[in-house]
Structures are given as C-alpha cells and as structure tokens.
Structure 1
Amino acid sequence: MAGVEKRVKGLDGLRAIAVALVFLSHKAHVDAIDAGKIGVWLFFLISGYLIIGELHRNRVRIEQHGARSAALLYVFFMKRTLRIFPVYYLLLIALSIAHASFYQRDVDLGLAWHFVFLSNYWIGVVHDGWPGTVSHFWSLAVEQQFYLVAPFALLFVRASRHLTLCVVVIVAAAFAHLALYGEGAIAPLIYAFSPWNFSMLTLGGALAIGGARVPLRAGALSAVWFVGACAAIAGFALARAGYAECADSVTGTMMQPGFFDIGLALSLGALFLWLVRRQDSILVAALEVRPLAYLGTISYGFYLFHNFVPSRLGVAPGLYARLHVPDVAQPVLALVLQFALAVLLAHLSWQVLEKRVLEWKRPLETAIHNRLPMRAAARQTHDAQRRGA
C-alpha cells in the first residue's frame, strides 16, 4: 500500500509529449482531436501520481511514527512554492507591466485572478470565454487549488482510506461533469472549471496507491492492455472531436460529450498505468531519450511561455517564395521556429532561475525536519521532568 518510492522512468518524456500536444493545440490549431486537453490531462495524471503517492507514503510514515505531520506539511508547501511561484509570479509581474504599457491593452487579461490562482473560475464563470494568450493559466490554477486541499485530505486521514477517498472523488466529479453538460453549460466553463479536472489528478493518485495490484507483467495481458488503451484513447478522442453540439433538449444527448470525456480520461489512465508498471518496455526507453527527457524537465517553463510566442513568428511568404520553399512546408517552418523559441525561453528559465531555486529545497527540508523534532523532544523532556517532580 505504500506506493512506488523509486524514480519512475519515462515521466519526463511523457511531460514532453504532453507539452508538445498543448503547443500543437494552441499554435497549429489541431482539429482532429483536442490535443490540448489530452496534454493537460497527462500533466494532471503525472502530478496526481507523484503528489498523492508522496502524501500517501508520508501518511504511512506518520502512522509508523517515522515522521511528524506538521513537518511533512511544511515541507510539502515549501516544495510546491519553490517549484511554482518564482517563475510564475515573475512572468505575471512582467506581463502586468507590459499590459499597462503596450501589450494587448484593449483586452481584459484578468491578471488579478491569475495572481491568486483563480484563472479557471475567472474563465469559466466570470469572463465566460477564453482570454487569448493567458488562457492556459487555468490548468495552473487547478493544480494549485489541488495542492491546497490534498495534503490536508491525505496527511490527516488514515492511509488505508486513501484509495477509497480517491475513488469517491472520481465518481462524484464524473457526475458533476455530466451534470454541467446536462445543464447546457458553456464550453469554457466545462473545460476549465469542471470538477473532472480534479478527478484527473485524483486518478493519478489512485494509480499510485492501488496500481501495483494490477498484474501487468510482460505477456498477453500486458499487450492487450496496451493496445486496448491506445485504441480507446484514439476512439474517444476522435468521437469527442467529431461530436457536433446538438440543439436537442434531450439530456442524454447533451451529456454524450461528457461520457466521451470520461472514457478518454480513463483510457489515458490505463495507458499511464501500463507505462509506470512496464518500466522495462521499449516505449519507456524511448521516453528516456535525453532530448525528450530534457524537454520534460523544462516543460513547466515551456508551458508558461509558449502561448506568448507570436503566432506570426516565422510567417514570411515573400522570403519563402524567394527561397523556393514549397507552400506545404511554410506553416511547418513557422511552427518549428515558434517551438524553438519556446524551448529557448524555457531553457533559460530553467538554467537561470528554476534550477537554482530548487537547490534550496534540500537544505530547507533538512532545516524543517531538524527544527520540529527538536521542539517535540523538548516537550517530551519537559513532561518527563514534571512527572519526575
């Protein structure tokens, strides 16, 4: 029940694929499937798997009297703060200055909402639509809201109940997701503010806690599982993308896209479980290739910056005509240039800021664990002295 503690191979490569799907959705406007949704849900699965898995193991340590809940809580928030806040708030401050001076001054970017990680609420409920270049902040808000709740829900609940808690959240979120479709909610509200987004994080956690019980060793069952998961992902993604919104008032018809969403999510979870259980597979080895793994390492910065790369960058039909570049290759060259610039910005962010800030994590964690047990020991000594007196 303690979950997986060793490093799971392939997760950085999977992050790279996720962020590439988001990039293609925003810059190439892929219509065959909702590549952006698949990419973000992959991020949620990975985060849930790692974060809930860690919290579950920490709760086991608490029950075995190997750690204090207060220390683990402080360490958790310290790690999340170092990983998320510095580059995010520097970007928001820079964006606020640019917006006040010259950048999209006629567009309501909802910057105040992004500062307090309520982008998903602002997009789905207040703004009632996508705000352009800051639209992708909604997923960061979802993760941050999840981080505010998860440690209290897991560190103070017995580890034996964690899997049940995850299943309850997933089921409740599925009903809420379908209810939004049934009520005819607008697409941005369902996309950014549906509780189903939190269920994707919880699904990753459920796989971390209970996934080891699924027999997925090399063999026929493993092969069928992999092929079936891939086929289901393709089927649900194509069905969801090809579904035209129906004006029919029949609730079951209106909720059909919601069922496609749930099927797609569970299929992604099945494939994800296969990857973390089949660490010896060729696919996992491919995800560990250094360039792909590095893109996964810097994927947070890439995700933050990619939407601010101008969509007209690399669009130069006159130059391409003089160079005799085929028409079909011109959009691809523009995308490559935009992708390369996003990678460069993410690389600089990682090397100059993110990586250096994360170096503080280990000494701060040590300081927290050293300080809190000392206080506990002091109280025990004081109590012993009083009893002796």
Structure 2
Amino acid sequence: MVQRRGGHPFRGADRLGGLNPPEVSATPRRLDYGTSITEVCRGDRQLGVSCRVLPSHRIKGFDGCRALAVVAVFLEHRTALRATELGHVAVLLFFALSGYLIVGGLHSDRVGVEAGQRSVFTALRDFIRRRTLRIFPIYYLALGVLAALSALGLWSGWSWEAAPWHLLYLSNVYQAYVLGTWQDTFGHLWSLAIEEQFYLFAAPTLLLIPARRHAVVCAVVVAVGACVGLAHVAQGASRIVWVTDSMANFAFLAMGGFARTALSRWRMPAAKWIAPACGLALLGLGLVRANDPVNWRMGLGMLEAGLAAAGLILALADSQDSLLVRFLEWRPLAALGVVSYAFYLYTDFLWFAPPWAGPVGHAAAMAVNFMGGLALATASWWLIEKPLIAWGRRARPAAPRTAIART
C-alpha cells in the first residue's frame, strides 16, 4: 500500500479545492492525468515503472513561472533587452515546463497501457484530442482573422508565401532556412512550432516504448539535441538557425521530461533553496548579450539554462510550501500564467508604435499592447479555451483517480 512520506514534496496539494487523497487499490487500474501531482506511487515491479497520480489539480507555482516567462519575452521584444538572451531563456523555461508535464502525462498513459487498461491507439487518440482542443482553435483563429484582414486591405503584415509554413507548424523552418531572418510580427510562432513538432514525436514514441525506458529516451534526446546545437556553434551558424533548430530545442523539452520520469521519484534535498538558485541562474544567463553568429560561450550557456530550468521546475514541485512558490501563486501572476499561451500568441500581432513616438510614446504603446493583449487573452480563455477543455473532458470516459499499487 502506498503511504505518504513525511515532508511529501506535494504536501497540501490534495487540499486544493477540497480534493481528498486518491484511493489506492491493490489492483492495477487505469491512470488519469491532468496538471498536478498529489501522490507518489510505484508501479508493479514486473512493469518496472515509477509513476505519480496526476488528477485534475495543478502544481503550485507553475502558472507563476509561465507568467514570468511570458513577461520576459514581452520585455525582450519591446525594449533594449532585445540585445540579450532573456526572451530565449524564457522560452527554454516554457519548453522544460511543457516537457515535464507532457512527458509525465504520456508516461502515465503508457503505464495504463502496460496495466492492460487501454490500448496504444486509444491513448494516442486521447492525447491528440487533448492537444488539438488546447492548441489549435485560437492558433488557427488568429491566423484566419489576420488573413481576412489582409484580404480586406486592413492589415499589411500578412505573407501568403509564409502562410503554409505557419499553418503546418513549420514557422521555425521557414524563418531559419527560407527567409533567413525573423518574420516581423510572426517571428514568435517558431516556439509554438517546436512544441507541436515535439508532441508529434513524443506521443507515438513514448506510448510504444515501455515506461521503464522513458527516462533513457529523454536522456538520448537531450544528448542528440545538445550535439546538434553545439554543431551549429562549431559551424558558425547564424543565431536564428541556432535558436530555432527543432532537434536542438527538443533537448530542452526532453530535459523537463527527464526530470519528470527519472528524478521526480526522489525527494530533492534543500529544494526550497535550489529553486531560487536555479531561478537566479536563469536570469543571469538570460542577461548575456546575444551574438550573431553564436559562440561557444552562448551555446554552452543555453544548455546550462535548460538544465537550470529543469532544476527549477523539479525543485518547485518538491517544495510546494516554499516562499518562492507562495510568490509565484500571487493571484495576478498566476492569472497571467493561466492565459499565457494566448497572451504570447496575440501580443505581437497587436503591437504598434509609430517611429516618431519617442521614449514616452513607446512606453505608452507598450502599456497599451500589454493590457490589450491581456484583455484579449483573458477573453480567449473564458470564451474559447476553457469551454473547449471542459468539453473535451466531458467527451471522454471518466477515469478513476487511483494508483498502481506497490508490490
């Protein structure tokens, strides 16, 4: 039988919203997952897996991380911080966080497959449905609105040449290898393309490979991606090629996945101190001046940033009562984190600052852009994203919130 450890890394998480600790059965049963962790369990030794039950609650601090990351990207795009790697490092934090959650979910799904509770096809279908409902609607809605405005002569930033690349989530490939530079208001779509490409790779791979091998798969992806990134450095590649390469960025998503599958079963000593240390390391690495072409210091520095991001996520998950987590749970910060995807997607499309505006006018344009993006993202969340997520949950059979028993 699974029991709580003293000083459980997610102590108190079961109290969010009044959720009681999940019942533990001696019989392996299907696992469900969301975005939080409340119990540690170990799978049957014959399966050779280790998992956490992931019910519908959230891991405290993660939304705050998203909020800080999206603000960092906003500031880099609008201010003199454009000369630094701050926005790039913030995107790496997004990647590591996505890897932690997505790989963790696929890991739990594979445990369910090995327990005989579902097929690989069913697990893959459910994953695709979840990701489709979460990502596609507002992404394609935004592109459709911009295309319509362009056709009506009301917006000049649209490119019909680039449109197929954006529609197929290949924005990173288009900008690095076709255009050779950032595409004005569409430049930020490269990171969304990377995430979608990783989902298409990770879902079938992890659902077909035994769960006990998932940490190894993540480690291999990290190693290969790091080699690809450093190869770009050795060849003197331009910054845009180095920043947007798919395989190189898979390494950062896999770092989060490795933290979830290999390290999260162990309690992290001094996690409440490690988390702020990793956060400060990320900030310091983000303030490094960007170079084009990239150099070895930057190449190794971004790998260090990825490791720091994964360490931060793991430490936050292991210190849910820490002062840093309490700060990240500050309501305005957490609220921005909830709508961070839409905010990231919309704000660059809304940016307008006349060249003659001057410093005061530029600052005013930034404030209008931020508040307008936040208002639109909030409306998008309540009117589109949240209802679709809720509909997707109702459309699938309910899974019992139970754990695989330890033998």
TM-score category (smaller protein): 0.7 to 0.9
Aligned runs of 1:290-329 on 2, under 5 Å? 290-312=331-353
Q: Residues 55 and 151 of structure 1 are in contact (CA less than 8 Å); yes or no, is this contact kept in structure 2?
A: yes
Deviation at residue 244 of structure 1 after TM alignment: 4.9
Matches of 1:132 and 1:122, distance apart in 2: 13
Structure 1 residues 117 and 88: CA distance shift in structure 2, 3 A: same
Greater length-normalized contact order (CA 8 Å, ≥ 6 residues apart): 2
Do 1:142 and 1:197's aligned partners in 2 also have CA atoms closer than 8 Å? yes
Q: Distance in 1 between matches of 2:354 and 2:331?
A: 27
Q: Once the 2 structures are TM-superposed, how far is the Cα of residue 331 of structure 1 from its aligned partner?
A: 4.7
Q: Per-residue displacement from partner, 1:249-279 (whole Å, max 9, x unpaired)? A: xxxx943321111112112222222111111
Query: 2:235 matched to which residue of 1?
Result: 183
Runs of 5+ in structure 2 lacking a partner?
Answer: 1-49, 400-407
What is the aligned partner in structure 2 of residue 160 from structure 1? 212
Spell out, residue by residue over 1:124-170, the C-alpha distance to the aligned partner (whole angstroms, 9 max, x if none).
Answer: 11111101000011111111111111111111100110001100110
CA distance, structure 2, for counterparts of residue 105 and residue 335 of structure 1 = 19
The partner residue of 1:270 within 296, 311, 317 is 311
Separation in structure 2 between the aligned mates of residue 41 and residue 143 of structure 1, nearest angstrom: 11
Cα shift readout 1:42-79 (whole Å, capped 9, x = no counterpart): 21112111110010011111112222222111110001
Q: Does 1:127 align with 2:216?
A: no
Instruction: Give the secondary-structure state (helix, strand or coil) at the position aligned to 1:79.
Output: helix
1:232 to 278, 281, 287: 281
Structure with more of its chain in helix, by fraction: 1
Counterpart AA for 1:24: L
* Counterpart residue identity of residue 81, structure 1: T
Shift of 1:342: 0.5
The residue that corresponds to 1:351 in the other structure is 382
Q: Which blocks of at least 5 consecutive residues in structure 1 are unaligned?
A: 247-252, 318-326, 370-389
Q: What's 2:165 paired with? A: 113
Contact persistence 1:314–1:333 (CA under 8 A): no
TM-score (norm 2): 0.79
Please give the secondary structure, in 2, of the residue aligned with 1:2: strand
What is the CA distance between 1:306 and its match in structure 2? 0.5
Which residue type is aligned with residue 237 of structure 2?
A
Name the residue aligned to 1:145. 197
Contact 1:108 1:131 in 2 (8 A): no
Q: Which amino acid aligns with 1:18?
A: A
Q: Matches of 1:230 and 1:47 in 2, distance apart?
A: 17
Question: Is 1:9 aligned with 2:40?
Answer: no
* 2:16 aligned residue: none
Query: 1:195 aligns to what?
Result: 247
Q: Deviations over 1:178-237 (max 9, x none)?
A: 0011112121111112522111111111111122244324xxx43653454244334433
Cα separation, 1, equivalents of 2:381 and 2:179? 32
Tell me if the contact between 2:268 and 2:315 (Cα under 8 Å) persists in the aligned partners.
yes
Partner Cα distance (1:351, 1:224) in 2: 36
* Alpha carbons of structure 1 residues 200 and 283: separation in structure 2 relative to 1, 3 Å: same
Tell me if structure 1 keeps the 8 A contact 2:86–2:285: no
Counterpart of 1:386 in structure 2 is none
CA contact (8 A) 2:191 2:244 kept: yes
Q: Which moved more, 1:332-341 or 1:261-270?
A: 332-341
2:326 counterpart of 1:285: yes
Quote the offset at 1:283 in angstroms.
1.1
* 2:146 match: 95
Residue type of the alignment partner of 2:244: A
Given that 2:100 and 2:259 are in contact with CA atoms closer than 8 Å, whether structure 1 keeps it comes out as yes
Q: CA deviation at 1:32?
A: 6.4
- Could you tell me the percent identity over the aligned residues? 36
Q: What is the CA RMSD across the aligned residues, in angstroms?
A: 2.5
Kindly tell me the number of residue pairs found equivalent between the two proteins: 347
Scaled by the length of structure 1, what TM-score is found?
A: 0.82
Distance, in Å, in 2 between the alignment partners of 1:279 and 1:173 is 31
> Cα 1:4–1:17, aligned 2, differ >3 Å: closer, same or farther?
farther
Q: Distance in 2 between matches of 1:106 and 1:118?
A: 16
Following superposition, the deviation at residue 303 of structure 1 comes to: 0.9
Partner AA of 1:222 in structure 2 = A
Q: Which amino acid aligns with 2:151?
A: A
CA 1:80/1:230 → structure 2, altered by over 3 Å: closer, same or farther?
closer
Show the 5 A alignment for 1:237-256: 237-238=286-287, 241-242=288-289, 244=291, 254-256=295-297
State how far apart, in whole Å, the 2-side matches of 1:4 and 1:276 are: 14
In the alignment, what sits opposite 2:32? none
Which region of structure 1 is more displaced relative to structure 2, 50-59 or 101-110? 101-110
SS at 1:279's partner residue?
Answer: coil
Which position in structure 2 is the counterpart of 1:379? none
Separation in 2, partners of 1:106, 1:52 = 35
Could you report, residue by residue, the CA deviation over 1:15-39 in whole angstroms, capped at 9, with x for unpaired residues?
1111111111112241463221122
Question: Residue type matched to 1:304 in 2?
Answer: L
Partner letter of residue 251 of structure 2?
Answer: S
What are the superposed Cα offsets for residues 267-304 of structure 1, whole Å, 9 maximum, x if unpaired?
A: 22222221111111111122122221111111111111
SS in structure 2 opposite 1:104? Answer: coil
